[in-house]
Amino acid sequence: MSKKKGRDISGIIVIDKPLGLSSNQVLQRVKRIYGARKAGHTGALDPLASGVLPICLGEATKFSQLLLDSDKAYDTTARLGEVRSTGDAEGEVFRTAEVPALTAGQVEAVLSRFRGEVEQVPPMFSALKMDGKPLYELARQGMSEAEMRAVAEKKRRTITISELTLNDQRERELDLSVRCSKGTYIRTLVEDIGAAIGCGAYVSHLHRTGCGPYHSGQMISPEALEQLAEQNCTDGVQDYSELDALLLPPHTAIPDWPEVALPLAEAAKMLLGQTIKTGLGDATSVQLWAVESGVRQMIGIGCIEGGVIRARRLMQVTLPQL
């Protein structure tokens, strides 16, 4: 059996996902640039969306699910007066309506209804599955709007909108900033706001500005990465040093988790699957670090229960010999 090709490089790079590409296309592009053996993204963005897309390489992929479960932030534009099949600019126009003259106060009164915990019905054009099939496949089978909504209704869920701000208002458009919990569909939020106004709405622009602790100020474009790779390639031999310097350490995905420092001997036991006794109080989520004689190396994440440290996810690391 042949070994998988690629470098065992670990870290997180915050990509500025361009319009027109799927998240997986961007993932494969970054994986190729880095020559990485293993890579994963942290929550898909639609091809019509841009912005923050953290890509995890190597051992950092063990933190992908934590970022999938984290809060997200978006800037979006709601185009008023139309309801579309996909909830965005690509969809078929289901119906149109006159847009009422709205004051900022009236818009704010509507937005206030969508802050906090709210119920959402996912859009039909989503990757959620019904009877083993993604909803977007069912939606493309010629269902009527009523049939599509009946299927999506079965996937109703409660999400949290922690921030919803009106940034700008034009005759037929609202520019909004949103911070929300995992599983929130901005297309559905915009549709629901349009329904509350009484004229319908769809997403004409969507840009993610934050994913967990990562933000737009940390982004780099795939094009910039490719240019850097080209500048550091001589006679077909790639120098990865400048690319690797851009990678953020895996622990930056969980900056608020408390750290547990373990002597090398105890860290080695944990890497073998053993538990460690401790006098520390209970904690549901902790970073596990090997710390001794100038050595400081993350070995995974875990929890503390009843005076015992247990590992939840361990990284493939080699501890130094003292």
* Catalytic annotation, residues: 46
What is the rounded distance in angstroms from the CA atom of residue 108 to the CA atom of residue 294?
55
Compute the C-alpha angle 86/22/80, nearest 5°.
30
Q: CA–CA distance from 38 to each of 136, 298, 303 (Å)?
A: 28, 19, 26
What is the rounded distance in angstroms from the CA atom of residue 10 to the CA atom of residue 249?
8
Tokens 């897309």, residue located: 53
Could you tell me what percentage of the chain is helix, strand and coil, using 3-state DSSP and rounding each to the nearest 5?
A: 30, 40, 35
Element (H, E) at 234: strand 233-234
What is the rounded distance in angstroms from the CA atom of residue 248 to the CA atom of residue 169?
37
Nearest Cα neighbor of 192 from 167, 164, 162 is 164
Structure tokens at 301: 């994440």
From the CA atom positions of the chain, what is the Rg in Å?
23
- At residue 249, the 3 state secondary structure works out as coil
Question: Please, which residues bridge with residue 303 across strands?
Answer: 310
What is the rounded distance in angstroms from the CA atom of residue 278 to the CA atom of residue 151?
50
